[in-house]
Each structure stands twice: as C-alpha cells, then as structure tokens.
Structure 1
Amino acid sequence: MRMYKIETHLHTAQSSTCGKVEAKEAVTLLHESGYSAAAVTDHFYKTRFDSYGDIPIAEKISLWKQGYEAAREQGERLGFKIYYGMEIRFTESPNDYLVYGISDELLAESPELFRMTEKEFKAFADRHHLFVAQAHPFREHITPADPKNIHGVEVHNGNPRHDSHNEKALAFGEEHNLILLSGSDFHQTEDCSRGGILSKTLPQNDREFADLLFSGDFELFHEDER
C-alpha cells in the first residue's frame, strides 16, 4: 500500500524571519524528496506582526501569509498539496504551538489570536475544528503545556540546530495520551526530509488534513528512515 509522506512543520523565508528558504524552493525540495504534501506553519507572533509597522491588521495578515500563498502556487504547479497552518506563540508564554485547519475567514474574524491565553485558544480551536499540537516542548526556555490545552505534541522535531530532547517529548505525549507528531521544522535546505508523517490517504484540503491529525491514523517519519 502506498503511504503519502507529509511535512507538518515548514517555515518560509517570506513569512518567518528565521526561514532561509523561499517557499517555492522549499516546496520543490520536498517534492523531489518524495513528499506529497506539506503544512506551511510560519511563525504567528505578536513581535512579527509589530514588525510590519503601523498598518491595518488585515494588511499584516496579508503580509504574513505570503509564504503560504507562494507555497500553494508552487504546489499547484507540481501536483503537491499545501495545507494552511501556523506556529503560534501567545503573549503570555514563550511556548510554540502548531495549528492546522485555519482559514482566511477565521483570521479575518479573529486576527490577533496570539493575544489569547493557551486555555482560551484551546476552546477557540475546539469550536472551529483546529488541531493544536505543542511544538518541541522540551527545548530550552520552553515548558510542556497543560495537556488539557492541546490535542497533540511534536515528539520528533528534526531541526539539527536545536536540541529538542525528542525522547522527553515522546514520553510526555505517551504519558498523557496525546496525538504524536513528527516534523522537519524546515528552515534551511539541510532541514529537508528530517521529519513528517506517513498516511494511507492524502488529504485534499485543510479540513481533511485536520481530520487526519485528529484521527491519529498515520505513522511518524524521521530522518533515520530516509
């Protein structure tokens, strides 16, 4: 049976200041590495939005999503699925959370999601069928979330420039019966194909991708299995 390889954690140079690869190139690299899809999860931080200056919030959203839009366009050229996500950080803590299932309509209604508390955002996510997973919960300066405030946890983070203590993340996820994720945390070309999930089906849109994550019906992939 064919298994579809999906990248869950991708940053672009257009929309994440730490991203060093343009969206078009990143999608091409993933496609050439055997992936069928990727979720663009650019940083959704107050500091990022402040850097756009004194312009309307709708314009800031448009600037922030440039990476996703460029990735989607390249994906359409290659027959490669792109899902709309974010890596959000709330003003109350330095923790990072991967969010899947977002939409332009949702961001138009609630553009400053980073002002919520983690508890408030979990309730918001449940109302809008968003899947929330804590990213790299055991990195330095990061605190494991209250399990009640997340659906899943990233237990394999492939970024080679950080020690994410993946073994601790796995133990945490298993202890609290959370849905387990793997992702490359793609920022630079060397990060390509260092993580992701393997699915028997290929979600056709953002809602189906969130459904897949909620189901837990997938396998984890990481660089040792390339």
Structure 2
Amino acid sequence: MTAANVKEQLQKQYPYKIEMHAHTSPCSPCGTVTPDELVNIYLKLGYDAVVITNHFSYGYGVFENSSVSKDEKLAMYMNDYENACRAAEKKNIKILLGAELRFSENFNDYLLYGADYETLHIAYDYLEEGLASYYKNGKPQNSLLLQAHPFRSGMTQVNPELLDGIETFNMHPGQNSAIGFAVKYASEKAFAVTTAGTDFHDYSGHHQGLSALRTSVIPQDSFELADILRRGDYLFEIGGEAIVLP
C-alpha cells in the first residue's frame, strides 16, 4: 500500500474538516473579518465547521471598558458568535463556540473547548484570579483547556497539571509558534489532547484554512467537540494537504 493510498483511506475515515482557532471582528480587535465573511470564506474552502475562539482576555477588547457591566460585556462577546450562527443557517457549515482566555497574571493564551454562555459567565470571574484558580475551581469537567501556541515569544510554561493539553500546530503565518518544540513538549508531558489551528485573523489571501481537525462526525456543539478531543478520535490536516497523526 502506498502513502497516497493510506492518505486516501484516512481522509475517508475522517471526512469532516473543522477550523479550531479563528477570530472575528469586532469582538477580537486584532481580527479584520466579520462573522458573515468568516462563514463565507470557510464555506468556500470546504470546511464543515469553524470554532470561533475570540479573545476572552482581562482588560482587552470587549472587556476593556470598566464602565460596562459584566453582562453587557458578555453580550458583546457572544454577539459575533451569534451573528456567525445566523450567517451559517441553511448553509452546509456549523459554527461552534470556543474562547481564547487570557488571565491577568501573564500573556499566556488558553483555548477553551466545551463552551456556552454559562461557561463563559463563570470564566469571566476568574480572569483576575489566574489559571490555577480557574482550572481547579471554575472550569467545568466537560470542558477542555489547552495552552495556545505555548512556545511563541512571550509565553510562559505552566504546570502541565493545570492543562488538558496544548495547541501543537498553530499555523498563524505572521507568528513563529515553534511548532517542533510544541510537538516535542506535548510528547514529553504526555498530554492526552493536542490540536491544530490556523489562528485565523484576516483574509489576506494566505491566512485562511491553513489547518483542520479532521473528524468522523460533525460535532453539534462545543461540548461534543470537547468529547471528540477527549477520545482522541481525530487527525490533523496541515496546509490543505498533509495528514498528521496527533
């Protein structure tokens, strides 16, 4: 059996493509693509689902204005996700809710899968308390928290016991996420969950669809996605071509 045959078999076994790390505007100030635009971009690329992981950061973006109430901030945060869901209605693509958390203690980012309004309502109260407090006391058992791009410049290595896994393949073309180091670290620490994501921010002609999680089913919500990750029932697709075993 040739490598091409193996690749074809794996693609048939895991036919569905999910973008695991994507940002939209205006929720993520660093993003330039609206929810409607994101849906159309990934639909044309042949993706079956996109996880919107907008920045959920202490003092940043929709959480920057101290004069706005918690509920108002969360409503603003959810607005992009809800708009994307509306844009995806009657189209062959699923929008899932995630978040990219950052606590006040450092510049680390953490991807949350298994998210809904209540999950984020709780997470908000831990942004000033830090990772350890959130992981031990605030994170639901059916959610997963992974350190995003852990070897990018400015990141701090944390106690692996405070993580469910890490993002090994962060494919942002404007950042050096030291993918090789991340893959090696995941193996050394025996993380049960690793992910690959484009870290999509803008439609510049080369910053979309750079990676995918390939699955055997399409998760119907963020918690079903977390369950797929927990079971390890997935593959990575990198650059639209290479199939990678996590």
Which residues in structure 2 correspond to 1:12-51 (within 5 Å)? 12-48=24-60, 49-51=62-64
Q: Which residue of 1 is the match for residue 67 of structure 2?
A: 54
Deviation at 1:115, TM superposition (A): 2.0
**SS of aligned partner of 1:77:** coil
Structure 2 matches for 1:88-103, cutoff 5 A?
A: 88-103=101-116
How far, CA to CA, are the matches of 2:221 and 2:63 in structure 1?
A: 30
Q: Matched residue pairs, number?
A: 226
Query: Helix, strand or coil: the match of 1:67?
Result: helix
Among residues 201, 205, 217, which one is paired with 2:221 in the alignment? 205
> Amino acid of the residue matched to residue 174 of structure 2?
R
Give how far 1:215 is off. 1.2
Measured after TM superposition, the shift of residue 78 of structure 1 is 1.2
3-state secondary structure, aligned to 1:17: coil
CA distance in 1, matches of 2:130, 2:122: 17
Partners in 2 of 1:71 and 1:223 — Cα distance? 24
Determine the structure 2 residue equivalent to 1:188: 202
Cα displacement (A) at 1:116: 2.9
Q: Distance in 1 between matches of 2:132 and 2:141?
A: 15
For residues 14-163 of structure 1, the aligned pairs below 5 Å read 14-48=26-60, 49-124=62-137, 127-163=140-176
Segments of 4+ moved more than 4 angstroms: none
Sequence identity of aligned pairs in percent?
30
- CA change 1:175–1:109 in 2 (3 A) is closer
Gaps of 5+ in 1: none
Q: Which amino acid in 2 is paired with 1:171?
A: K
Shift of 1:128: 3.8
2:190 aligned residue? 177
Name the aligned partner's letter for residue 121 of structure 1: Y
- What is the CA deviation profile of residues 138-196 of structure 1, one whole-angstrom value per residue up to 9, with x for unaligned ones? 11110223211111111111110011111100101111111111000000113211112
String of CA shifts for 1:6-51, please: whole Å, max 9, x gaps. 0000100120000011111112111111110011100011122443
Aligned to 1:221: 237
User: In 2 relative to 1, CA 73–149 (structure 1 residues): closer, same or farther, beyond 3 Å?
Assistant: same
Q: Compare CA radii of gyration and give the structure with the larger one.
A: 2
Distance 1:127 1:70 in 2: 26
Partner deviation per Cα, 1:102-148 (whole Å, 9 max, x = no partner): 11123345533312321222224654411111100011110223211
User: How much does 1:98 deviate?
Assistant: 0.3
Give unpaired runs (5+ residues) of structure 2. 1-11
Distance 2:211 2:137 in 1: 28
- Which stretch shows the higher mean deviation, 124-133 or 198-207? 124-133
Question: Aligned equivalents of 2:48 and 2:69: distance in 1?
Answer: 36
Counterpart secondary structure, 1:154? strand
Which amino acid in structure 1 is aligned with residue 211 of structure 2? Answer: G
